[in-house]
Structure 1
C-alpha cells in the first residue's frame, strides 16, 4: 500500500450521546504532504445524520476515512455476537442491519431500542447497575483487535459496556447504524476488501495516533494548541502545526492529530495485514493501526 493511494485523510471523533447535536463530534481533514490538518465546518455542532450526509455528498475523492468507534462486537471468543440467541447475526453487516432495523423509529441514529430489547439487554452492561447475565463479568468481552490494543499499552473498553465516561459502546452501536446506511456508497475495511481506488472507511482509535506522536496512553488527550503542535511535530506524524494558541477542545485535537497520523500510517503495509485479520475480518473487523 502506498500513501499516494489516497488523496485525502479524514478522521471523525464520534459520539453516542443522546440528543441531536453533539460537541463530541469533530471532523478533520488532511491533504497529502505536511500541511496542517483542518477541521471541517469549524465551530459547527454536528448531528450524526449530518455526518452521514457529508460522507455521502461532500467527501473528497479518494479519501481514507477513520472513525473513532468500534465497527463490530466480539464474535470469535464465543463463536457468535449473542451466543445462545437464535437471532444472532452471522457477520458484521448483518449486525449493522439488525441494529438499524430495531432502531428504525429512533431519531438521530440512536440505539436505545436495541440495547433495551428483551432478547439483547442481557448481553450488555447498562446504566443503573443493570449488568446483564450474559455480559461476561469483569471488563466484558473483547474483540481480537481490542486484545491487540491492550498489548500495545492502551486500555480499550468492551463494546458491550454502556456505562462510564470512557465507554464506547453506544457510540459504536450508533456508528454501526451509520455504516449500514453507507452501504453502496463507501466500503468499510476489513469487512469489505480494500478497493484498488476510491474512498474507504476504517475504524481508528485516537489513542493509537497519540501513541505514535509520543504521548503515553494515560495522557493521550491534548487540550491546548501547544500540546497539539508538539504531537503534530513528532517524527511519526511530521505535520505543520494547526494555527492558534491557548485551549483547544480535545475532540477537535483528537480528530486533527488522527487525520495527520492517517496520512503517514496509510503507507504502512503491515497495518493493512495484521496477524489474525483473516479470521475476523467480516465478523469483528479491525482497528486500523492495531498490531
Structure 2
C-alpha cells in the first residue's frame, strides 16, 4: 500500500472583517492517526490577525494539507471574465490576486477597502447600500464548482455579494491578498499542480465536512463539546480536548481538519470530472466537490 501523501492536516476558518485581530479566525491541526485536531494559539495575542496567518503559512515545511475556508477566485467561465467590460480585467487567478493586492496596497491588515471604491470594479459587487449595476441580482454569479456544491445540496453564495451574514466575498478578497503573497512559496491547488511532497493549500467549504460528519442541513454549527465529539467520531476521530470557548469558528476548524485527514487520499477529489485546465487556472475548485 502506498504511503499517504500528507502527514499533517490543517484547517483555517478565515475572516474578511475590518480591523487587525479577529475572533473569526481559527486554525486547527492534526496528524495522521485518530487523535482529534487541536487549535493553534495565535502568536502572542488573544486572537489571530490575517498577517499572523500569512506568517504561519510561510513557516509550514512538512507535508501538511492546509484547507483555507474562502473562495480563491471569482466566477470567470460564465461570462468569460471576472469583470467583463472593465479595462485590464485579469485573465487568470494569479493576475486577479495581484490586482487585488496592488489595488489594496494602502489598506492595513490585508483589507481591501480601496479596491471596492474603484468606480469600475464596484459595479460588479453588492455592497451595503451600494449594489453595482453589473451585479446580476438574485444569488449572483457562481463558479463552476459552486454549481457543483448546489448539486450536493449545499447553499453557496456568490463571491460578488458582500452583504449579509452568509456572504463570503470579503473573506475571499482578503484571502486573495494572502494567496498573492504566497506565490512561488507555497503551492495552491489546483492553480498549482499538487507537488509530490511538502505542504499544499486547498480551498475548503466547512459545510462539506459537517454533512460528512452527519450534521444535517440547518444544523451545521456546533457550539458544545458533545456535538463536536459526536461529529468527530463520525469521521473516525477521538474526542477533542475541551475548549475555553465553543464557537462556530473553532469547531468548524477542528471538524474540517479531521475531515481533510479522512479524505486527503481520495484520488477522485484531486481529479474532479468537471474541472478543466481552464477552470483550474481561472476559478479554482473546492476540495471535496467531485
TM-score (norm 1): 0.95
**Please, which runs of 5 or more residues in structure 2 have no aligned partner?**
none
Is 2:277 the partner of 1:287? no
Q: Is the 8 A contact 1:162 1:169 kept in 2?
A: yes
Listed one character per residue, the Cα deviations across residues 169-198 of structure 1 (whole Å, up to 9, x for unaligned) are 000000000000011210100011111111
Say if 1:227 and 1:108 are closer, same or farther in 2 by CA, change over 3 A: same
Number of aligned residue pairs? 287
Greater Cα shift, 141-150 or 33-42: 33-42
Shift of 1:217: 2.7
Is 2:258 the partner of 1:251? no
Q: Which residue of 1 aligns with 2:157?
A: 157
Question: Post-superposition, which runs of at least 4 consecutive aligned residues in structure 1 deviate over 6 A?
Answer: none
Q: Is the 8 A contact 2:61 2:198 kept in 1?
A: no
Shift of 1:245: 7.3
Is 2:46 the partner of 1:48? no
Shift of 1:249: 1.4
Q: Is the 8 A contact 2:75 2:142 kept in 1?
A: yes
Q: Is the 8 A contact 1:14 1:25 kept in 2?
A: yes
Listed one character per residue, the Cα deviations across residues 21-57 of structure 1 (whole Å, up to 9, x for unaligned) are 0000000001001011000117830000000001112
Q: Tell me the distance in 1 between the aligned counterparts of 2:99 and 2:106.
A: 13
Q: Tell me the distance in 1 between the aligned counterparts of 2:12 and 2:217.
A: 20
Say if 1:3 and 1:180 are closer, same or farther in 2 by CA, change over 3 A: farther
Say if 1:143 and 1:251 are closer, same or farther in 2 by CA, change over 3 A: same
Q: Tell me the distance in 2 between the aligned counterparts of 1:151 and 1:37.
A: 29
Shift of 1:2: 6.5
Q: Tell me the distance in 2 between the aligned counterparts of 1:106 and 1:244.
A: 37
Q: Tell me the distance in 1 between the aligned counterparts of 2:99 and 2:226.
A: 44
Q: Secondary structure at the match of 1:209?
A: helix
Query: Map of 1:1-291 to 2, 5 A cutoff?
Result: 4-41=4-41, 44-57=46-59, 59-128=60-129, 130-234=130-234, 237-244=235-242, 248-278=246-276, 279-291=278-290
Q: Secondary structure at the match of 1:219?
A: coil
Q: Tell me the distance in 1 between the aligned counterparts of 2:247 and 2:138.
A: 32
Q: Tell me the distance in 2 between the aligned counterparts of 1:166 and 1:19.
A: 19
**Please, which runs of 5 or more residues in structure 1 have no aligned partner?**
none
